[in-house]
Amino acid sequence: MQKKQLFTITTLLLLCASALGTTPKDKVKPAIEQKAEFFEAADVSVTGGPFKEATERDKKYLLSLPVDRLLTNFRTTAGIPTDAKPFGGWQDPKNPLRGAFVGHYITACARIYANTGDKEMKDRVDQLIAGLAECQEKFGDGYVGEFPKDGFEEFEKTGKAPKGIWVPWWSQHALYAGLEDAYNYAGSEKALDVMKRSGDWIKSGLDKVTDAQVQNMLNTEQGGMNEILADLYALTGNKDYLTLAERFCHQAILKPLAEGRDDLTNKHANTQVPKVVGAARLYELTGKEEYKKMASYFWHEVVEKRSYATGGNSIDEHFKKLGTEPLGAHTAETCNVHNMLRLTRLVATWDPSDSSYGDYYERALLNQILASQDPDTGMMLYFLSTKPGHFKVYNTPENSFWCCTATGVENPPRYGEGVYMHGKDTLWINLFMQTELNWKDAGVRLRQDTKFPEETQTKLTILESKDTAFTMNIRVPSWAAGPVVAKVNGKEEFKGEKKGWVAINRKWKKGDVVEVSLPMNLHLYRKCDDPKSVAVLYGPTLLAGALGTDKMPKSDQAKAQWDLDSTPVPMTVPVLVADANNLDSWIKPVAGKPLTFRTKDAGRPNDVDLVPFYTIAHQRYSLYWDMMNADEWKAQEAERAAKTAQSNTANAAIVDSIQPGEQQPDIDHKIQSEKSNTGVSNDISWRDARDGGWFSYDVKVLADQPMKLRCTYWGSDAGNRDFEILIDGKKIGEQKLENNNPDKFFDVDYPIPAELTKDKTKVTVKFQAHSGKVAGGLFKVSVVK
């Protein structure tokens, strides 16, 4: 696990209901003229379909977590006695990433309360805020958190994070966002009070250091501290918080963006997104053009050049190289998309005529965010795997609490907030979702009835309006397979021929009905660095190949993501031998099952079922397919056959084999170790031992026969890797790893003398690092004849 490179999040405040560009409670009005704004989820009820079901599951999970357990780390840190059992995973009292979940939890409950009026949710918010206020009182100086505040002063001075805490402001910012949401959405005055005291505590620390020291500190992930403080300024009118917000803007990242330079390659992705959300919010509150440039430029770079078919971005949490789209088990961290949607909600309002923002919102909401929740248990993804044949790995309810679990619980309460935008006399229908909208300022209520994306139409009914004149703009999606036609009261027709909006300007009456056709077809998404690698979509819906449950682990819930991500793929993932220009000829709908298809005589070695990715769970899948013509397949088939024959011969020689670092093989081979670590690189697990440490396995041998120990190494490993290999205490080899075979795995065979296997069926193989050196990493250990 890479320290300080893991994630982020944020929550936040959004724009609002009454005046353009403000939350209902903002005292500071925007400094820019806003052409449009999204309605809050509180104004939009999601009344049916998969998004509503997901919200129900979310609520059930939130209610399953007792308040006293959520508060236990705060209380212990503040010195308030508690016997509540702490949670595990990232919420474990010793975990260096603790502290973010409770803030997101408060946000989720407050927003569900605002959406539905559910009192149980408000009770949760009130109980948590009371607990936090009590802890803040005990700390005495405005601080409240899940870890001691002692190291903050040093952190602000030197940039060195407090002992045992990796990313303190990242944890804190989520808590602060929760406090602000408790005030905005659940009406908790006490929450605002706790937040103001927190803001003053932050100020008291930053008053003692220079801007250069602050910038140094900001090299450590801090979530959206600039956004939180900008929001606090808007809520209170206190300019000190605005100054703090601007001091929290990380110039090393934001300045190049303002200059139109993409320096994002290999940067930790979700560390950056919230900083840019903060910049977008500061544009609204200050009108400074540079903030707008940062946000707009970043949005286009990430969406257009750095995203996957799902709308997600990042591999191993980092932005990939421009012009590449590497697949793997660790792609598309879910937090990133959560935050990209929040950014989209801000950026889209600056130019509402551009429907690209709605296109991205729809793609990412449907194919990543909705797809990230288990439709059975409500548990959530961290990474969204694009590795062909892998599966979704979900958090456990009480022992994971990853960053993506934290942002994950607030995704469902936000489903409604991307659906509609409004200006003074304009309404934009941005998404197609079963919802009811209450446009209070205009005195208009509207219902949208649709089973979209399972059906290719939606119906808008005006439930309340007093002949109000406004323009209704209905999005013409980029995927539309023909003109989008809007029929008003069964007669008058409006047509949108290309991407953009269908505009209907009239005086709207109660009972007016607009029926909209949304023609869909099958189409391909092409991987940016390999146009022969494709994903299949129907309209907006990404289709996944359902590949079954062969050799799935007993449970696909993991305490740590890494526990399951090196599970081998047991099958050959089919390739598609077919005509890319005539998809209908070989992708056939399955009768009676919406959005379900089967390939016909196109999959090699076998055809596949294609289903909406957002419904896939507990089975293996593929999103990207190698596509080729018959000749290319013939050549590849011969190559595959040769490889299979080769590996059959190799397998026949194997007496025993271990995947180091994988739990079961390690246990089966009686792992013993000192100063040993495990991890995953290139989707393969490894084990090493450091600083003179060692590890050993019991392996099978054939008695009295000479055989070989075969070790697999990563050819780019280097630096102080010098070790011995012993069998039952006798040295059989020495190895140095010094960039022996760059960017490739390689095998080394060490002969085992016959006397070491005499009368034995089992021996112990030990990898012993020289003093101060590293042994390994070992990516495979086999005994071969």
Contact status, residue 371 vs residue 614, Cβ threshold 8 Å: yes
Instruction: Retrieve residue 316's tokens.
Output: 């191993």
Rounded-to-integer distance, Cα 640 and Cα 387, Å: 19
Which residues have C-beta within 8 Å of that of residue 523, sequence separation ≥ 6?
A: 479, 481, 536, 537, 538, 583
User: What's the min distance (Å) between Cβ of 403 and Zn ion?
Assistant: 3
Closer residue to Zn ion, CB minimum distance, 7 or 291: 7
3-state helix/strand/coil string of 466-490: EEEEEEEEEEECCCCCCCEEEEECC
Least gap, CB of 407 to Zn ion (angstroms)? 6
Cβ-closest residue to Zn ion?
335
Touching Zn ion, residues 532-591 (CB under 5 A): none
Nearer to Zn ion (CB atom), residue 166 or residue 779: 166
Residues 15-54 that bind Zn ion (CB under 5 A): none
Q: Which stretch binds Zn ion (CB under 5 A): 4-12, 168-176, 353-361, 687-695?
A: 4-12
Query: In terms of CB distance, is 557 or 659 closer to Zn ion?
Result: 557
Task: Return d(Cα 282, Cα 294) in angstroms, integer.
Answer: 11
Q: How far is the CB of 257 from Zn ion (least distance, A)?
A: 22
Q: Of 253, 231, 97, which Cα lies nearest the Cα of 164?
A: 97
Q: How far is the CB of 275 from Zn ion (least distance, A)?
A: 16
Provide, rounded to whole angstroms, the least separation between the CB of residue 631 and Zn ion. 44
- Supply the minimum distance, in Å, between the C-beta of residue 412 and Zn ion: 16
Question: Which segments within 355-456 are labelled E, that is strand?
Answer: 394-395, 420-422, 426-429, 435-439, 444-449
End-to-end Cα spacing for the chain? 36
Can you tell me the distance from the alpha carbon of 463 to that of 447, in angstroms, rounded to the nearest whole number? 7
Output 406 or 602, the one with its CB closest to Zn ion: 406
- Of 2-10, 199-207, 702-710, 757-765, the window that binds Zn ion (rule: CB under 5 A) is 2-10
N residues, the chain: 785
Which is closer to Zn ion, CB of 170 or CB of 201?
Answer: 170
CB 723 within 8 A of CB 737: no
Q: What is the nearest approach in angstroms of Zn ion to the Cβ of residue 96?
A: 16
Asked whether the beta carbons of 223 and 336 are under 8 A apart, the reply is: no
Report CA-CA distances (Å) from 704 to 64, 621, 728, 763, 774: 59, 45, 15, 12, 32
Closer residue to Zn ion, CB minimum distance, 336 or 678 = 336
| Nearest approach, Cβ of residue 230 and Zn ion (Å) | 23
Contact window for Zn ion (CB under 5 A) among 400-408, 411-419, 510-518, 728-736: 400-408
Considering the rule CB under 5 A, would residue 167 count as an interface residue with Zn ion? no
* 72 within 8 A of 66, measured Cβ to Cβ: no
Distance CA 530, CA 629 (A): 15
In this structure, the number of other CB atoms found within 10 A of the CB of residue 251 comes to 12
How far apart are CB 101 and Zn ion at their closest, in Å?
Answer: 12
7 binds Zn ion (CB under 5 A): yes
* C-alpha to C-alpha distance for 699 and 657, rounded to whole angstroms: 8
Residues 713-752 that bind Zn ion (CB under 5 A): none
Nearest residue (CB) to Zn ion, 312 versus 612: 312
Nearer to Zn ion, 404 or 522 (CB): 404
Position 101 contacts Zn ion (CB under 5 A): no
Strand pairing report for 654-658 and 684-700: unpaired
> Which residue's CB is nearer to Zn ion, number 231 or number 333?
333
Q: Which stretch binds Zn ion (CB under 5 A): 7-15, 43-51, 437-445, 615-623?
A: 7-15
Please select the residue that binds Zn ion; options are 403, 502, 564, 608, rule is CB under 5 A.
Answer: 403
Q: Taking Cα atoms as reference points, which of 383, 407, 409 lies closest to residue 394?
A: 383
User: What's 766's DSSP letter?
Assistant: E
The number of C-alpha atoms within 13 Å of 251 and in the hemisphere containing its C-beta is: 8
Q: Which residue type sits at 670?
A: K
Residues 185, 114: Cα–Cα separation, whole Å: 5
User: Considering the complex, what minimum distance in angstroms separates the CB of residue 67 from Zn ion?
Assistant: 24
Residues 459-489 as b or e (16 or more Cβ within 10 Å = b)? ebbbebbeebebebbbbbbbbbeeebbbbbe
CB of 406 to Zn ion, least distance (A): 8
Stretch that binds Zn ion, among 69-77, 401-409, 415-423, 429-437 (CB under 5 A): 401-409
In the bound complex, what is the minimum distance in angstroms from residue 548's beta carbon to Zn ion? 28
Q: What is the DSSP string of 279-325?
A: HHHHHHHH--HHHHHHHHHHHHHHHHHSB-TTS-B-BTTBPPPTT--
Nearer to Zn ion, 7 or 350 (CB): 7
Encoded amino acid at 779, one letter: F
Q: 7 or 686: whose CB is closer to Zn ion?
A: 7
Q: How far is the CB of 405 from Zn ion (least distance, A)?
A: 8
Q: How far is the CB of 409 from Zn ion (least distance, A)?
A: 12
- Is the peptide bond preceding residue 605 cis, with omega within 30 degrees of 0? yes
**Beta strands 775-778 and 684-700: pairing type?**
antiparallel
Q: Site mask, Zn ion, residues 491-530, x = CB under 5 A?
A: ----------------------------------------
Total residues at interface with Zn ion (CB under 5 A): 5
* In the complex, least distance from residue 542 CB atom to Zn ion, rounded to whole angstroms: 20
Q: Which of 110, 404, 711, 769 binds Zn ion (CB under 5 A)?
A: 404
In this structure, the number of other CB atoms found within 10 A of the CB of residue 379 comes to 23
Give the helix/strand (H/E) hosting 526: strand 522-527
Counts of helices then strands in the chain (DSSP H, E): 18, 34
Looking at beta carbons only, is 205 or 223 nearer to Zn ion? 223
Q: Give the residue with the Cβ less far from Zn ion, 97 or 595.
A: 97
Q: DSSP characters for 598-630?
A: EE-S-EESS--EEEEGGG--SS-EES-EEEE-H
Q: Which is nearer to Zn ion, 380 or 484 (CB)?
A: 380
- How large is the angle between the packed helices 269-286 and 251-258, nearest 10 degrees? 70
Q: Which residue lies nearer to Zn ion by CB, 165 or 689?
A: 165
Residue closer to Zn ion, measured from CB, 5 or 471: 5
- In the shown chain, the binding pattern of residues 306 to 345 toward Zn ion, with x for contact by CB under 5 A and - for none, equals ---------------------------x-x----------
* Shortest distance, position 695 Cβ to Zn ion, whole Å: 31
Q: Using the rule CB under 5 A, give the single segment among 6-14, 74-82, 226-234, 369-377 that binds Zn ion.
A: 6-14
Nearer to Zn ion, 407 or 541 (CB): 407
Residues 199-228 that bind Zn ion (CB under 5 A): none
Stretch that binds Zn ion, among 402-410, 459-467, 489-497, 663-671 (CB under 5 A): 402-410
**Binding segment (CB under 5 A) for Zn ion, from list 254-262, 357-365, 404-412, 682-690:** 404-412
What is the β-pairing status of strands 435-439 and 426-429? Answer: unpaired
Residue 616 contacts residue 544 (beta carbons within 8 Å): yes
Stretch that binds Zn ion, among 5-13, 87-95, 526-534, 752-760 (CB under 5 A): 5-13
**Tokens, residue 39:** 């309605």
Judged by the rule CB under 5 A, the positions of this chain that interact with Zn ion are: 7, 333, 335, 403-404
